[in-house]
Structure 1
Amino acid sequence: MSLEGRLSINLATTRGSWGFAEAVDGCLRHGITAIAPWRDQVEAIGLKEAARIVEANGLKVTGLCRGGMFPAEDKAGLQAKIDDNKRAVDEAAALNADCLVLVVGGLAGASKNMPEARKQVADGIAAILPYAREVGMPLAIEPLHPMYAADRACVNTLSQSLDLCVELGEGVGVAVDVYHVWWDPELATQIARAGQMGAILAHHICDWLVPTTDLLLDRGMMGDGVIDLPAIRRMVEEAGFHGPQEVEIFSRDNWWKRPGDEVLSTCIERFETVC
């Protein structure tokens, strides 16, 4: 059965072996026609060339990673973040991405003021939203696991993310990444809520290893950990999202050390058997 429309590879997954062009070639060799690149990977090859490669190969870009990181120590810093996010919107549009994924950011500097960080996130998204609407680029808020609340994302549950969607209005949705939300006792309720809102823009998959040796760079291949991937997939599909499942694996000491073709063949095998 064709993988088209079913499986996407976030290019973080093959970061250990390949840059943008090599990853595209590898995906095409394996029959994968959907990708999600990172901004630094696009920058390395150049936005114009990345867009040319996407168009020439008829690729679907399920998301661009990442915008966000809004909280700052002063108004000038926040404005710089807003300006960078507008550039990210332009990059996502040039790649014809389904969405720009937002990892919203944590506490700024030495701050311990979490309510202020969350306010800056809402203000920052509100500041770029009119521009994103103008160019037709949906913004996908990705709640991150609470272990990242201080440094990467002060929005940690789907409930928080969807509340922001309600506050901000049209053009904002969520990215459901199993690594970050699998533990949430409200997961089923909030995925159903997201479906009612039409807010699910992306579905990211990997696995949570036990033990996990690095909280950022030791994600597992699907089937190697404790996440009930089929159950979450059913929730997402019942909520109305039928886009590709996007494999996103950060694995410094395992998968990033393996040949890219081995990584992709394993992704496909696990996608077909355990997801």
Structure 2
Amino acid sequence: MTFDRQRDSAAGNSDTTNDVSRRGLLRTTATAVVAGTGLSVASGSVAADTDEIMEVDFRGGVPPISDAPQGEDEVVFVVHGYTGSSDSVAGAETFQQTARSVGYTETVTAVTWDDSGLPWSAEDSARETGDLFAGWLEDYTNANPDTTIRILGHSMGGIVQMETLAAIDGAFTVDTADSIGSYEESDAPCECGDFYDAIRDSAGEVHNYYSTNDWIAKLGGGPADCSGWYCDDTLPDNYEDVDVSDSVSGHSAYKESAGCVSKIVDNY
């Protein structure tokens, strides 16, 4: 897929790197408040940028950028997996609440795509959505040049994550593009795979949070597998596999696991 299909709606390229972030101060403050008072971060002891979960919904076409928060320091775009569209906002909220409990207070937004039909047709839709999301993100970063952009894709949302990077094709970079329980192919990040260049050129960092207890995931069931006949062990320098097996018991347990989410936000 090519990002050029969506570029006629874009205003130009923008560097999305946010050099000054409050997340370290906020996380330290959150930890101090929780330790000192016994209050939960999610209960409002530390004010977040916004607790509202907005929804960027691609099921009816490309939505306006006004469907996402504007002028935020940092936004995590959470992309659901197969059969998750009806619970997209709720799933993003689950991640948000767990993140709040470990001290991360930045803004979380749901990304919804058309996952209807059988798995193979849904997978095609996930790949097409990556192209649309890339064009949307360029418009969004042009309008919000100081916002740190993060993508977190669950299951087939990991396909959306990778296809988004491929469609961006180095035109700009997102700060992090991560997956949990990814349904993308296990060799996708490898030099012999389909997304080596996309990872290297379109993101600051890419993490694959995997659990060996996850029997549904492909890439998300273990580290990247570069052992194929025409493959080697070469991975992009900005890619990392992160084992969360100790805290994730199965395919649906990532967002609610404090052990998993703490590792995610530690890399923010």
Settle same-fold status: TM greater than 0.5: no
Scaled by the length of structure 1, the TM-score of the pair is 0.42
TM-score by length of 2: 0.43
